[in-house]
A = this chain, B = another copy of it.
Amino acid sequence: MKKMEYDVVILGGVAAGTSAAASAKRVKKDLKIAIFQKEPYISYGGCGLPYVISGDVKSPESVIALTPEIFKEKKGADVFVNHEAYEIDFSNKIVYVKSDNGEIEVSYNKLVIATGASPIIPAFRAWGENGIFKLRNPDDAKNILKYINENNPKNAVVIGGGFIGIETAEALKKHNIGITIIEGTDHVLGNIEPEIHEEFVNGLKEKGVKILFNTFADDIIKENDKFKVITKNGNFESDMIIVSIGVKPNTLFLKEKGLNMARNGAIIVNENMETNIKDVYSAGDCATVNHFITKENVYIPLGTTANKQGRIAGKNLAGDDDSFIGVVGSLITKFEDVEYAKTGLTLKEAIEKGFDADSVFIKSGSRAHYYTGSKKIKIKLVFEKKTGRILGAQLIGGEIHPRLNTITSLIYTNGTVSQLRNMDLAYSPPFSPVWDIDLVAATQAVKKL
């Protein structure tokens, strides 16, 4: 078996892996670093893929930041694509990697596991047929676009109403494809506030999107060029299928090797991205992350967190010092003109976590009521009753991003509704009403303290 030696070995080369390599090199230029990446490309923005399909991103290649060659040239790390790690010997610090050219035994001083996550695909009989897709990497986007161009599908079933499902549904709808979303729970978009959910779902229905709740796809078969989704609530025919029911960490090859993992297989890391094994770091969609409010290890695999964790891992392993403040579960997305965002805890989550929490639900506009183009906004603001501490918010409507960032920032600094209600948020009629919805919500919240 071929042998290699590196100071730093990084498994995975998308967001976390490339960030780790680049930041380690910035700290210590002479480190010998190798990235082993299973896929043929590295360094891509997976969150952009639905927008490749919608046409808001020019091409599948656009989301790829750097090719392996340019990454090597610019960042100074060796990149091996189409190379998959299949075994690690932690005590001897050796990673076993395979590729079409055979196997390699790679010894490391520091290791970063950034193998990401993969879509969960149930054993549908139709899986593998042309027309049934996941959406995880640029090739998936390419294949979906090709299928649309060649087959001109009239309708699609999206299995799973999480963020990727919703964003992919929006993208397909731009191609005039009729959308049915089949969702196993009673709600889309994960931990969503009921008032906000009602608004969001009404919006989807008005736009002609069909949603079935509490419905599992027991199987999908292909018959006479049509897909048939089999559920206990009836069968649904469709020209194409998107499977987006969630992801699982790519850590199966690491099981029972002494690495601490969460129940779903995510590698547990501390705020320095260290695992329980010395000199082994993990970052990105294969790892847990600390939640700023609950102080618990949670699994919220997102590109923005992967970048941060990767950078922190790289800095720390190279001798610099950085630690992760933790996430608060911030998310933003849209379906056409309806934007949805969350940060912090829902009321239900807050109560479950032991907070004496309460909430207000407020409607307002995004601009002065007399100014053209003002959008409707609704916010549910969650706070601790005793202290007024802000615990979370969810927003729906238009121009919600400024309002969201206010709340996110206050969560991180233990800000209270009493502070927020009179804060000097910049006001001008094209940008905000004189009382911004965040201020109105905080004013109402103070009355409940």
Contact = CB atoms under 8 A, between A and B. Distances in A.
A423 B334 CA distance: 22
A328 B402 contact: no
Contacts of A312: 422
Contact of A415 (B324, B370, B412): B412
A341 B426 contact: yes
Interface string A416-434: 0001001111111111101
B402 A423 contact: no
30 contacts: A45-B368, A45-B434, A47-B427, A47-B428, A47-B434, A51-B430, A56-B372, A57-B429, A303-B427, A304-B424, A304-B427, A304-B434, A307-B435, A322-B422, A324-B422, A325-B423, A325-B424, A327-B424, A330-B425, A332-B427, A332-B432, A343-B426, A402-B402, A402-B405, A404-B426, A405-B405, A408-B423, A410-B413, A412-B415, A412-B419
A449 interface: no
A329 interface: yes
A331 to B, nearest CB: 6
A264 interface: no
A213 interface: no
A80 to B, nearest CB: 24
A41 to B, nearest CB: 14
A214 interface: no
A304 B47 CA distance: 37
A292 B401 contact: no
A372 B327 CA distance: 28
B424 A305 contact: yes
Contacts of A303: 427, 434
Contacts of A430: 51, 56, 334
A15 interface: yes
The 3 residue pairs across chains A and B that have the minimum distance between CB atoms? A413-B413, A409-B409, A304-B427
A296 to B, nearest CB: 15
B15 A424 contact: no
Contacts of A402: 401-402, 404-405
Contact of A424 (B330, B424, B428, B432): B330
Given A325-B423, A330-B427, A399-B401, 13 more contacts: A47-B427, A51-B371, A303-B434, A304-B425, A324-B422, A332-B428, A332-B431, A401-B432, A405-B406, A406-B408, A408-B424, A409-B410, A413-B414
Contact of A48 (B62, B342, B429): B429
A22 to B, nearest CB: 12
Range for the number of chain A residues in contact with chain B: 35 or more
A353 B415 CA distance: 25
A303 B435 CA distance: 10
A63 interface: yes
Nearest to A64: B370
A162 B322 CA distance: 42
A403 interface: yes
A434 B331 CA distance: 12
A355 B87 CA distance: 55
Contacts of A408: 406, 423-426
A431 B372 contact: no
Interface string A241-261: 000000000000000000000
A370 B138 CA distance: 13
A314 to B, nearest CB: 13
A299 to B, nearest CB: 14
A308 interface: yes
